[in-house]
Structure 1
Amino acid sequence: MSHSAKQAPLDFVASFDDPAAVARYAEGPPRFVPGFEALHRMTGILLAEGTPPDAQVLVLGAGGGLELRALVEAQPRWTFVGVDPSREMLLQAERTLGPLMDRVTLIQGYIDDAPAGPFDAATCLLTLHFLDAVEREATVCAIHRRLRAAAPFVAAHGSFPQDERPRWLDRYEAYALASGVDREQARKARAAVEASLPALDPQQDADILLDGGFRDVALFYAAFTWRGWIARA
């Protein structure tokens, strides 16, 4: 759950540079994101549609390494380039991947620091919600430029009706509590999202993918405050 542009909210940025917080990172997403492991499995299935068996895949927001590990294990011939601005999160990714690192190149930086490609597929999971609409579209455009024609792109992040923001944030907190998160931690997480996360309506997010050059944009994942899309370059 890392950030990809310099405009990411500072409180979230700080948490990704805190070694103690990063060491606990793997505990967080499954407790806050319904179907977290299933999201990774679905992402692998969607990326494999029409992708060559020796595909090179761009993973933006790769820090922590959880989705990288799932994809590396699912596709033994794919290679990956993972990009993330947080050094601590990339170190955590190395620990998470262990011997699987032989098929992964990690780059500290933002999308503009990624190789030009062209890549056969790309992902951006639990990341774009840190960016405002302008930065989000710029990032999507930069991903699109790095993909082969018709290459699949999977994006998933916080996205929910903004005219009912308090109700959905209550549900976000309630899910965390039901998943075993400490009450105070869940409350603080909700407050941080409410104050700092520039989440958009799902239709706005889909439109950003279209405006960024993607086609065949389709929703494949919807779980409380989270949405995921598959699209083609």
Structure 2
Amino acid sequence: MSASLGYDLIVQQLIPGYASLARLAVALLSVSPLASRPGAAVLVAGCGTGAELVEARAQRPDWQLTAIDPSAEMLAAAQQRMGGDSIRWHQSTVEALQADGRFAGALSVLVLQSLADDGSKLAFLTALARSLEPGGQLVLVDLMAPERSPLQHQVEAAWLAFQQASGLNADPQALEPLTQGLHPIGEARLTALVNAAGFTDPARIFQALGYEGFLLQRRP
């Protein structure tokens, strides 16, 4: 099994709904006011092994895609998966990309959760907003902090049950980036951060246990 397919299988066994998440994210962006234009420039921030790139090519082969990831290993896996596709590849963070106003839309899946809320989350979101044209949209998906609820213990138990039912039996080292050292935040904090970064209020478009997806738009 290739590295990219192995990683994707682990994430599908870990996160409910992940198998269709890339399809949903691309579909949302493809009908947005700016990224719906033929040949629109779209950024995949934290492309990982390329799940969103595969779906983008299936739904919108006309898009001019730029894929970035700070991990050379992940970037190499995505490049291998996409073959000779004419994607612009950068081993970089979005903060270092310096792509002011270049993109009509962007996708960021399971990236913000790994950044500490010490200014790093705000810097990431601000750089994403800056990289978009005014009115450009971002699909953001991450693990979120749980709301206070007497049923939260059941939600956490259900997540473990889902993993077991999915046959998750991965090496702990493979799971570590997805389960350890994460910094989830609540929706109120997310709203404050995205507003400060230059986005409108987040609109929820996906939720599966603790994982939530939001559609954001850069303010004019």
Same fold (TM over 0.5): yes
- Separation of aligned partners in 2, 1:61 and 1:214: 19
Q: Tell me: CA distance 1:191–1:90, structure 2 relative to 1, closer, same or farther (3 Å).
A: closer
Deviation at 1:127, TM superposition (A): 1.0
Look up the equivalent residue of 2:128 and give its one-letter code.
Answer: I
Q: Which residue of 2 aligns with 1:42?
A: 24
Please say if 1:94 is aligned against 2:79.
Answer: yes
Deviates most, 66-75 or 165-174: 165-174
Q: Name the SS for the 2:202 alignment partner.
A: strand
| 1:16-56 CA-partner distances (Å, limit 9, x unpaired) | xxxx9767312212111211132112111211221212110
Q: Which residue of 2 aligns with 1:136?
A: 121
Would you say the 8 A contact 1:61–1:84 is kept in 2? yes
Q: Which residue, out of 45, 48, 67, partners 1:60? A: 45
Q: Tell me: CA distance 1:189–1:166, structure 2 relative to 1, closer, same or farther (3 Å).
A: farther
CA RMSD of aligned residues (A): 2.6
Q: Which runs of 5+ in 2 are unaligned?
A: none
Would you say the 8 A contact 2:39–2:64 is kept in 1? yes
- Separation of aligned partners in 2, 1:150 and 1:129: 24
Q: Tell me: CA distance 1:141–1:135, structure 2 relative to 1, closer, same or farther (3 Å).
A: same
Deviation at 1:113, TM superposition (A): 2.6
Please say if 1:176 is aligned against 2:158.
Answer: no
Under a length normalisation based on structure 2, what TM-score does the superposition of the two structures give? 0.84
Please say if 1:151 is aligned against 2:136.
Answer: yes
Deviation at 1:109, TM superposition (A): 1.6
Deviation at 1:173, TM superposition (A): 2.4
Q: Which runs of 5+ in 1 are unaligned?
A: 1-19
Q: Which residue of 2 aligns with 1:113?
A: 96
Under a length normalisation based on structure 1, what TM-score does the superposition of the two structures give? 0.80
Q: Tell me: CA distance 1:95–1:53, structure 2 relative to 1, closer, same or farther (3 Å).
A: same
Q: Please identify runs of 4+ aligned residues in structure 1 that moved more than 6 A.
A: 20-23
Would you say the 8 A contact 1:168–1:224 is kept in 2? yes
Structure with more helix by fraction:
1
Percent of aligned positions that are identical: 25
- How many equivalent pairs are there? 209
Q: Which residue of 2 aligns with 1:26?
A: 8
- Separation of aligned partners in 1, 2:115 and 2:125: 11
Q: Which residue of 1 aligns with 2:56?
A: 71
- Separation of aligned partners in 2, 1:210 and 1:90: 30
